[in-house]
Structure 1
């Protein structure tokens, strides 16, 4: 039996057009449009209202369902707010995400400029010349290419979130106008450090919570904000995984990946209590720069280092160990991966060799630092070395 034959023969509904699994039908009495499909489990034809009498709206909603490639009850997707224009995309993203960012003011400016210049354009109709015209308009107003790039990054992020949330089926191809040579010349946020210099900083730490933070930094290369947000529930010792994105937090381009727990870090995590990982006097801390900078100052290592220095130094160490750049990028949580098209999918969290090269390099990094520490034994939680003599 054809799965749509019951709907086709129902005298109360007129078949308008087929869209793969679904069919568009129109109620003869009211003129209202419905999506119709055959439910094999109940052996019945089912329908859901498209809430419109306009043919153009009905066909657009049907194309949306067809492009999503879903089968079965489409109610979840019909209830989603479908974004069709640049203005709709940015308005929805502003309410749900952008206004919560620390950079909300800059994001709001970018949103207003994009809406002013491209707001009425449909996402499905955007072509390279639209972006080129946007670039040329801002350049004519005296704006730099870097400024144009930052504005378009807001648009790119909004489009990626709408696609992930199934509010659109359009994969925006937003060009990057910032020259690669310019990006490659950008200064790092913190200078590179040797293992000896990192060891010297660690030996100047006296508080247990800062020592744990430092151990997490040299193992995971994570951003400090992610570690200060982290709670015990993000650690799965059974699967040996550390999910750097806390429950309920929306994923952003500054990715917080799921990482394998290095063998040298595991003892530090095994007995942690519930709640925030980094606590001082029983409460989570908001920042660690002051204490870290103090340790750097007392270490007398010379160059001005910060917490980003640890991240960059671990990445450089991994490259020295010949770890593939793509794997390092996943480990460090670099954004803009397209989960449908990139080979990053081969690194599945449930596979035993998930990011194994990065994990082994991180372990070697920590072991090498430990050969230079005079006070703290990094392989034994919170233990000083037997040879340590306090000055």
Structure 2
């Protein structure tokens, strides 16, 4: 059992004990130790884990209509969950080969949304999905209707795949990590993800093969 799962289970127990004590059914509350809270946003997927998550999403009778494509877009683009769920087909320009994660009329916020080239590995899946959709419809949809959220379907796929502490945001962190591990310049990663350069350095610099290279060479 992972620390995250153990923490949740013990947290439920502690809450139940406190409730009983509050209502006079327990004289004193025994101490319940909780493992430290895991750094969820540091979680990223190895490639075999990503494959397991995709496999699990395709074997869910309720979610397989939309979840595999959501996962692929998340892994290839690193876009935020909301940006993916908001995306309509006119934002995917196959002629120019770009995806614009800013829907028409969207107000600018601190959470930037990028305009990026369509990754080659993703394009085939988008083309196939487009053939099944309408000209103006949502890219991620169920029976042609937009999805308010995908938490339940995603969580079920993660459990089926045997993955702990994995959320839709994990896909974004995975994309940034994989780019850094391949030696992509941190400024480019920032632009791809819609991050500030400082935030990108904080999250992904330690994954870059050149991280501390000059310092390491100076000490050799």
The normalised TM-score by structure 2 is 0.64
Alignment partner of 2:112 out of 255, 268, 290: 255
Q: CA deviation at 1:312?
A: 1.1
Partner of 2:83: 226
Partner of 2:148: 286
The normalised TM-score by structure 1 is 0.37
Q: CA deviation at 1:189?
A: 2.6
Q: Is the CA contact (8 Å cut-off) linking 1:193 and 1:313 kept in structure 2?
A: yes
Q: Is the CA contact (8 Å cut-off) linking 1:253 and 1:336 kept in structure 2?
A: no
Q: Does 1:213 align with 2:70?
A: yes
Q: Is the CA contact (8 Å cut-off) linking 1:190 and 1:305 kept in structure 2?
A: no
Q: Equivalences for 1:54-203 in 2 at 5 Å?
A: 187-189=39-41, 191-203=43-55
Q: Does 1:324 align with 2:181?
A: no
The structure where helix makes up a greater share of residues is 2
The structure where strand makes up a greater share of residues is 1
Q: Does 1:307 align with 2:168?
A: yes
Say which structure, 1 or 2, has more relative contact order (CA 8 Å, 6+ apart): 2
Q: Is the CA contact (8 Å cut-off) linking 2:187 and 2:197 kept in structure 1?
A: no
Partner of 1:334: 195
Residue 300 of structure 1: SS of its match in structure 2? coil
RMSD: 1.9
CA distance in 2: counterparts of 1:319 and 1:216, whole angstroms = 18
Unaligned runs of at least 5 residues, structure 2: 1-37, 59-63, 199-220
CA distance in 1: counterparts of 2:179 and 2:189, whole angstroms = 7
CA distance in 1: counterparts of 2:155 and 2:42, whole angstroms = 12
Q: How many residues align?
A: 151
Unaligned runs of at least 5 residues, structure 1: 1-185, 338-391
CA distance in 2: counterparts of 1:201 and 1:251, whole angstroms = 32
